Amino acid sequence: MRFNPKAKLDTSRVRDTGRGGGGGMGGGGMRMPIPGGNMAGGGVGAVVVVILVLVLSMCTNLDLTGGGGPTAGGAPDTTRVAPADTDRYAACTSGEDANSSEDCARIAVENSLYDYWSASLPRYDVQFAPATMQTFSGATQTGCGQASSQVGPFYCPVDQGIYLDTTFFQQVLQGALAGPSGAFVEPYVLAHEYGHHIQNLVGTMNRVRTQQGPRSDAVRLELQADCYAGVWTAAALRTEDQGGQALFVELSDEDIRNAIDAAAAVGDDRIQQKTQGQVTEESWTHGSSASRMKWFQTGMQAGDDLRACDTWAVDTP
């Protein structure tokens, strides 16, 4: 993975809030917790949902038809989000910075996701509004309540924010789950979470009624986000900065394998086998390793046709 040194980076939608204290969203240690219906921090109201890459579990009182959720084109609800910014990304100004810094590479990936989806979504008569991205350490406050690093990367639809403790990749994905360590692993994760943002704008989250099992709506939602990650990956070399410069100059076959291997590493069956020594399909919330790989590759082959990512159109996703 290489970025165009001439590309200009936009840090306006990404920030870092440093280290926060406290718990939140349930769970503990390095295990794979499944959050309950309430999150520490309080006051989320009718809309309480967390979508995770690692835990990958919907909260039990999901209700996106009630008030409080964002609407496409509307301003995100950021009233419950801590305003502090450490200026971690202040030095990220160019693609050259992205080639030498993991932090700046994160900015370049966000810029690419923004460019792709802002151009693609209106073709489906859906108004685009960007997601924000926040990195943190330990814990942070979000529109969905307080979150700790134990829950892994996640998307909160209330404030349209993607939240990420960057230690997740080394400590959890590579350590606990023996996942890949290549440079394109984090872009896959960020693209998956941005896929949830697209589902939020489109209204797909309203379709989630069943929460567990290989054919459940929750699994279909997660696999569709994997498919959307594949769609973006296939188009990444065409994405541009605000001045029309390409953001990426190279995505290798190895990068694609990294993404596929990462998708496999967070399959429900793989996680269950590593954490409990057996696989229980009836408790799945995100799909098997094989399904996650399949739908990412489906997105890669879809071109710009998002209809290829309709995981509700098949009997067994």
- For 229-280, the pLDDT digits (tens) are 999 999 999 999 999 999 999 999 999 999 998 899 889 998 888 888 999 9
Q: What is the pLDDT of residue 286?
A: 92
Output the six-digit token pair for 141.
């406050």
Contact 198, 117 (CB under 8 A): yes
Q: State which H helix or E strand residue 113 sits in.
A: helix 102-120
The reported pLDDT for the residue numbered 167 is: 80
What pLDDT is stored for residue 19 in this prediction?
83
User: Among residues 263, 262, 265, 113, which one has the least CA distance to residue 182?
Assistant: 262
Judge whether 221 and 212 are in contact, CB under 8 Å.
Answer: no
Phi-psi region of 84 (alpha: psi -120 to 50; beta: other; left: phi over 0): beta
pLDDT, residue 160, reads 95
Per-residue pLDDT, 28: 25
- Please give the angle made by the CA atoms of 99, 191 and 292, to the nearest 5 degrees: 120
Strands 161-165, 132-137: pairing kind: parallel
Q: What angle do CA 110, 162, 178 make, to 5 degrees?
A: 85
* The predicted structure's pLDDT at residue 183: 80
List of the chain residues with pLDDT < 70: 21-83, 170-182
Which residues, other chains included, contact 244 with Cβ-Cβ below 8 Å and sequence gap of 6+?
A: none
**pLDDT the model gives residue 168:** 76
Q: What angle do CA 120, 110, 47 make, to 5 degrees?
A: 80
